[in-house]
Amino acid sequence: MAASLVSACATTHGGDAPIKVEANDFHAISMMVWHPSTCAAGALAEVRVTEEPKHGEIIVTKLPLTQDNPSKTCFNKDILARVIIYKPNKDYRGPDSFAIKYSRQLDDRDMRKGWSSDRFEVIVE
């Protein structure tokens, strides 16, 4: 049984270079899922923080974000996305880290989900 097409995008993945964040600022990681021919949003990722940052906080929310990749069919269209925001403690500078577990839609026919985990290293400057 072949899965229907579902496109997905995450702006940052664990294991990438450390995330650089200005002191007293924040960094957002977005996760979008959409059907490439209709631009309809797929299921929002469920996110669980499995390791809290020691020097900041994680905020998980949902926001409409504009698909900004011109090579994608849904360019300039708003797609509801799960957004994970890292916000360092006031005036903190130095390293931090956090880990999440998140669901991902395997196909759009039966809405099956798989789970992945990522750990993020952060440098607050």
The structural domain count of the chain equals 1
In the predicted model, is pLDDT for residue 28 greater than 50?
A: yes
Give tens-digit pLDDT for 80-113. Answer: 888 899 999 999 999 999 999 988 766 656 566 7
20 in any annotated domain: yes
CB 118 within 8 A of CB 103: no
Give tens-digit pLDDT for 34-55. Answer: 777 777 777 778 899 999 999 9
116 in any annotated domain: yes
Query: 19 is in which domain, residue-wise?
Result: 7-124
1 in any annotated domain: no
Q: What is the CATH number of the domain that holds 11?
A: 2.60.40
2 in any annotated domain: no
Global confidence as pTM? 0.78
